[in-house]
Amino acid sequence: MHTVVVGTSGTTAEDVIAVARGNARVELSGEALDALARAREIVDALAAKPEPVYGVSTGFGALASRHISPELRAQLQRNIVRSHAAGMGPRVEREVVRALMFLRLKTVASGHTGVRPSVAQTMADVLNAGITPVVHEYGSLGCSGDLAPLSHCALALMGEGDAEGPDGTVRPAGELLAEAGITPVELREKEGLALLNGTDGMLGMLVMALADLAKLYTSADITAALTLEALLGTEKVLQPELHAIRPHPGQGASAANMAAVLKGSGLTGHFQEESAPRVQDAYSVRCAPQVAGAGRDTMAHAALVASRELAAAVDNPVVLPDGRVESNGNFHGAPVAYVLDFLAIAAADLGSIAERRTDRLLDKNRSHGLPPFLADDAGVDSGLMIAQYTQAALVSEMKRLAVPASADSIPSSAMQEDHVSMGWSAARKLRTAVDNLTRIIAIELYAATRAIELRHGLTPAPASRAAIAAAREAGVQGPGPDRFLAPDLAAADAFVRTGGLVAAVEPVTGPLA
């Protein structure tokens, strides 16, 4: 099994996905264990002094003014975890919780939190045992980090609360730890706070969304090319010299993808024929690289923000190399929240333009000779009429999900935490948006492949033929009389979601961006 080694200098997106989705094992490097020990010595020294230090010998948030006596500090750390584990609503997905736990371990291993090496090791042991704490949908304001979700994870480290075992059954966390031979942690000064104070949930969801969107943007370039072909459009708008004079990198990449898919097509080049007379293709076809490309550039910016956050140590207070323990505001989720919202906006627009292309394929007045709704016997058959309704409903939902969460803030903790990021909410709605975008692209694929097959006597591009053949093999049926459509759409969704569309095309086109 692949092993991810956690050091002091952060982690990578690939490692997050390996742990969250691939169940990779986690190990702490010797460097990380040494850094943990050094930072703990500093915290222990401060704990022995009479002067109050936030998080070490004081209360938290609006209660930070109270100095806590030594005999109550262990109870203080337990209490913050128990009281902050106040989430509600449905369970969060296993991969999100694993990403959250791993990213918290990443910060702990930096040596800036003052947590003992034994606590960090227990965090790694829980991940490796396949134990996943139950985390709920609601409870994070994104400042001070993802408090409630992280608290539910910390609670499991203490042997309390519920968790999912490696067999998928939810049971008391203490039972699962015992079966795995893991001793619950007994928290000391600073440790409870250090386990809760981070942007780990929103960051983990950002990393996974970027991985999913990268595949979807390539898939959308393919379906846009298939639609252009089905509409007898012109590929001349994809010429690289046209995109070189407006040098947005994403636009050039999307145009190159579409051109590669359309190479050798017998359906393009009919632009001025009597059967398809027009001066230009509609915007939804002609401007596909510009819209998808802008989304690609948005992803590049979001990936830059994610890489910086993956290298960060987010906690409050933090232990600095010179021995100081300083309060700070690095737990605020604004940098991550903004790009999560930005991605949702770009995804909504990509879904919107895909739906407009699908609608054009189904409208006999704009499809240049295709039957109404791509029906076998229009009037007796409705064809793909309601598949487009489903796509339109998804697009409408995408637009609602594009409303920024990060533009909101709601005060908490008796006005001590009077401005929050709402980054967790931005991440949760982005996950739904990514799911919906997958379905929208799948419906365009379904319509475009059927439309191409209805262009009798014309030969699609080799890449298009490969896409159609693979889709049919995956259970996405072709033209014919009306049938129960939901299974076809589900098959198209799975084909896109698992990367089947891209995998079918790339042996013909070469690697796509």
What residues are labeled active site? Answer: 54
Side-chain-side CA neighbours of residue 231 (13 Å): 31
CA distance 337 to 328: 19
DSSP-based three-state secondary structure for 27: strand
What H or E segment, with its residue span, contains residue 356? helix 334-362
- Residue of 185, 182, 33 lying closest to 108 (CA atoms): 33
**Cβ–Cβ < 8 Å for 365, 372:** no
CA distance 270 to 248: 29
- Residue of 160, 196, 159 lying closest to 177 (CA atoms): 159
**Cβ–Cβ < 8 Å for 194, 80:** no
CA distance 105 to 200: 10
**Cβ–Cβ < 8 Å for 126, 101:** yes
- Residue of 471, 463, 482, 470 lying closest to 446 (CA atoms): 471
- Residue of 226, 232, 343 lying closest to 288 (CA atoms): 226
CA distance 498 to 493: 9
Task: Tell me how crowded residue 68 is: count the other CB atoms within 10 A of its CB.
Answer: 18
Reduced 3-state DSSP string for 120-179: HHHHHHHHHCCCEECCEEECCCCCCCCHHHHHHHHHHHCCCCEEECCCCCEEEHHHHHHH
Q: Which residues pair with 136 in a beta bridge?
A: 91
